Structure 1
Amino acid sequence: MSHDDVLFETLLQPHYAATEARISALDRGSVVLVPQDTTSLNYTALQKSVDGLGPIGTTAEGAQGLHLHSSLAVTVQGLPLGFLDAQCWARDPEEFGKKAQRQALPIEQKESYRWIKSYRAVASVQRRNPQLTLVSMGDREADIYELFAEAAGTPSGPKLLIRAKHDRALQEEPARLFETIRAQPIAGYQIVKLPRQKDRPARAAKLAIRFAAVNLCPPQHKAQLPALAIWAVLAQEEGAPPGTEPVEWLLLTTLGVENFEHACEKVAWYTQRWGIEVFHRTLKSGCRIEDRQLGHSDRLEACLAIDMVVAWRIYYLVKPRWPLQFPPSVARSNSPS
């Protein structure tokens, strides 16, 4: 693992190529979902014997380890095809606590640039496979205006499906994003099977679906960026069990959402994002990557690249099917779609 040619990115190149081959073999017109997500790898117990780690918690002196950002290609039925991009790094403890200074930096010099870098890796595959539709997905952390601007600048590139975090201003609208979409009529209801989590049993959630086309204004400190025309889909749970926080997803997408069926489709696709969380758990609990004792972060990263392929193979063989199958079971409202 300490050989100069045994590198994280080098080791994953054959897997990227094999993943693209599996994607290219899909039927013309198929949709490939590519959720991306970040997880931290905790080596605090080993930090005295491992060099090159960085803070992964809220303080520079706290938990130490590495960060991993993965982009996993899956079919709309949930079959994991492999990775299209992965990034691993250690945060510089000298830069910890300088958030205000980092905000003034261009996106290319920020840690959040990882989302755009992964999107560009997916875009490369999309260019070589124009017969397919690739959709880059992310949770609230991926709600970055530059990412939407990147997609808007490449209309033939991958589409985006991102859960909203920021209540952005809208063009020619007095209300902001969240208020505007919540004011839309309910188009119908969708049933989503939610998997079990730590202290939450699995359940079927009844989601009220709203959608609308919106024009986002750039943040004030990014006024040089263009306004963006996208679609918003809001899924709000009704009748959640007592003491349980109701599900509420506001999804932003560059895909057209012209009717209720389109909106349900995007919600169903978003549930496939959970698969990358399953993969990360497999990597930690199955491959036990956090127990590796290799003396330096570079060696840990090289070993991580191998374990990622192993964990993907385990996940591929299991092929979980907890998200709903589309078309969903729905109870339509009387509102026009």
Structure 2
Amino acid sequence: MGWAAEEFRTLDLGDGRLDARAVLLAERLAGKPTESIPNACSGWAETQGAYRFLSNAKTDWQALLKPHWTCSEERMRAHPVVLNIQDTTELDFNGRATAGLGPLSYEAQRGMYLHPTYAVSPTREPLGVLDAWMWAREAKGKDGKRGGIVESTRWIEGYERVAERALALPQVRQVYVADREADILALLRRAQELQHAADYLIRCRHNRVLPNDGKLWEQVAQAPVLGKVAFELPGGRGTVARPVTQSLRAQVVELSDGKVGTLHVTCLLAQEIDPPAGVKPVVWRLLSNRCHRPPYRSQCVIGM
């Protein structure tokens, strides 16, 4: 049995021919992931079959991914910690005659957005794609405002799905990992409402005012050094690869929840030590709900 047949063994689209086509198409696209459907398929007949499959109402994306989700959860059981990485990707179909598209980064661009959750082990073993939030933006109105969904919802719903898996697999520590767009109070509040069923690790975007009138980043910078971490920074975007050593500081802080309550979060500061002359130091600020204070369900261990 090939990998695709094994991964889709529980697939049920209501027609055995559709199930078989799904397995074949998965093998073809995985074999040539950068190619178009015609170039990935073996001949015109197979290409026509792929397009018929994709246009069939029974081939809903959730139905297709359901067996993969099941397999992914099974793979998770072998790991004490799973990182659920989230980010947003633009699908640019500019110039294509495709219905249902909307603006991208520029109003004239046409396409849609995809926000998946990619699960990996701390040793970078891929475990599966476990969620996907997709939408097309509405065009801006004459007043310059854009209607439609509240796009920040994707970060909150992403955490909710991770929390659901944490409850279903209590022996596996689920960690929600997100970039600075996820640094929103609504997400931190939602995690608290769900009793922090899953951990989160979010790139800190806002230097918030603290109840004592101090600022978050400056206060954490005064915390004692807990240790150091060293790694090789990859090259790219006009920079060369180089070794980096960072000091680590962390502090539990109290934040306003933007309503009438408070949130306790751990802010971690990773700051480069002695960067090369003329090079911007590598500084990361992260928010986590792993801390020493109640009501969190697990005790704090800084790092993973």
TM bin, normalised by shorter chain, reads: 0.7 to 0.9
Aligned-partner residue type, residue 241 of structure 1: P
Aligned partners of 1:128, 1:66: CA distance in 2, in Å? 32
**SS of corresponding position for 1:87:** strand
Is the aligned partner of 1:15 residue 2:68?
Answer: yes
Which structure has the greater CA radius of gyration? 2
**SS of corresponding position for 2:87:** strand
When the two chains are superposed, the root-mean-square deviation of aligned CA atoms in Å is: 2.3
Specify every segment of 5 or more residues in structure 1 that has no aligned partner in the other structure, as ranges. 103-108, 267-337
What residue in structure 1 maps to residue 8 of structure 2? none
Candidates 115, 131, 137, aligned match of 1:91: 137
Specify every segment of 5 or more residues in structure 2 that has no aligned partner in the other structure, as ranges. 1-53, 294-299
Is the aligned partner of 1:119 residue 2:159?
Answer: yes
Aligned partners of 2:175, 2:200: CA distance in 1, in Å? 6
What residue in structure 2 maps to residue 290 of structure 1? none
Question: Structure 1 residues 5 and 213, CA, compared in 2 at 3 Å: closer, same or farther?
Answer: same
What residue in structure 2 maps to residue 269 of structure 1? none
Structure 1 residue 156 displacement after superposition: 5.3
Is the aligned partner of 1:50 residue 2:115?
Answer: no
Question: Structure 1 residues 8 and 211, CA, compared in 2 at 3 Å: closer, same or farther?
Answer: same
Aligned-partner residue type, residue 123 of structure 1: A
Aligned partners of 1:54, 1:241: CA distance in 2, in Å? 44
What residue in structure 1 maps to residue 184 of structure 2? 144
Question: Structure 1 residues 241 and 65, CA, compared in 2 at 3 Å: closer, same or farther?
Answer: farther
Candidates 200, 222, 230, aligned match of 1:191: 230
Aligned-partner residue type, residue 85 of structure 1: D
Structure 1 residue 87 displacement after superposition: 1.5
My pick for the range that moved more, 113-122 or 240-249, is: 240-249
**SS of corresponding position for 1:93:** coil
Aligned length: 244
Aligned partners of 2:74, 2:135: CA distance in 1, in Å? 28
Candidates 238, 250, 256, aligned match of 1:211: 250
Aligned partners of 1:257, 1:207: CA distance in 2, in Å? 24
% of aligned pairs identical? Answer: 34
The normalised TM-score by structure 2 is 0.74
Structure of higher RCO (CA pairs closer than 8 Å, 6+ residues apart): 1
Q: Deviations over 1:119-147 (max 9, x none)?
A: 11111211111111101010111101111
What residue in structure 2 maps to residue 176 of structure 1? 215
Aligned-partner residue type, residue 245 of structure 2: K
Q: Residues 31 and 135 of structure 1 are in contact (CA less than 8 Å); yes or no, is this contact kept in structure 2?
A: yes
Is the aligned partner of 1:73 residue 2:73?
Answer: no
Aligned partners of 2:110, 2:279: CA distance in 1, in Å? 33
**Bigger share in helix:** 1
